[in-house]
Chains A and B, each alone.
Chain A
Amino acid sequence: DQQVKQNSPSLSVQEGRISILNCDYTNSMFDYFLWYKKYPAEGPTFLISISSIKDKNEDGRFTVFLNKSAKHLSLHIVPSQPGDSAVYFCAASPNSGYALNFGKGTSLLVTP
């Protein structure tokens, strides 16, 4: 049962524009959310996280927004760069948990 869903398998964006990656979750016990980026032949790399006590967290070009009532989060990348082309995974866990529940990923392609 997929508790974290990324409904867009792929996304293509022009360099310099905004990339918006979306994620929905079903488990109301989740209160910690993360985004990971994965290049081919490498393991996922931690990008940014957000706790359920916040609705926004920024780190440079990356911003994560959390809408608890809609059980929805999104990752904004501004401006997008070709090096951002990768698969992005959304993950969630309960605050006391040690296991992350991952979405199936969204493949982002940033074109020059």
Chain B
Amino acid sequence: KAGVTQTPRYLIKTRGQQVTLSCSPISGHRSVSWYQQTPGQGLQFLFEYFSETQRNKGNFPGRFSGRQFSNSRSEMNVSTLELGDSALYLCASSYLGGTNSPLHFGNGTRLTVT
């Protein structure tokens, strides 16, 4: 089974721009979560989608948004980029989400905002 695929692996953007990151979950997995990893804050939960519906959202500003398609693939969007948005963005999938389904992470998209 192929793992979680995130594209692109690296991205450089300028302050004020917007960016879209993509995630393809493991086949059969219907839950997709997004996490931001920074040296100072560690891994922080952004949001979780299941069957195209956002079930849970972390404490991030509205500039961070996401969506999930009918094939379970997911995208996250960050608008009006700030320097502090530079981070590793990790996508994770699981069969149903919740505590009975451990997350399987992709290798992440490294976003640098200049």
CB neighbors of B among A80-105 (8 A):
89, 91, 93, 95-105
Are A46 and B104 closer than 8 Å at their CB atoms? yes
Q: How many A-B residue pairs have CB under 8 A?
A: 60
Are A44 and B42 closer than 8 Å at their CB atoms? no
Query: Interface 1/0s, chain B 29-65, versus A by CB < 8 A?
Result: 0010101000001111100101000011010000000
Q: How far is the CB of B9 from chain A (nearest CB, A)?
A: 9
Give the interface size bracket for B toward A: 20 to 34
* Cα distance, A34 to B98, chains bound together (Å): 12
Are B103 and A100 closer than 8 Å at their CB atoms? yes
Give the interface size bracket for A toward B: 20 to 34
* Cα distance, A110 to B97, chains bound together (Å): 33
Interface CB pairs A-B, < 8 A, 22: A32-B99, A36-B105, A42-B107, A43-B4, A43-B90, A43-B92, A44-B43, A44-B103, A46-B103, A46-B104, A91-B43, A93-B99, A96-B98, A98-B50, A98-B97, A99-B48, A99-B56, A100-B35, A100-B45, A102-B43, A103-B42, A104-B41
A49 sits at the interface (CB 8 A): yes
Q: How far is the CB of A46 from chain B (nearest CB, A)?
A: 4
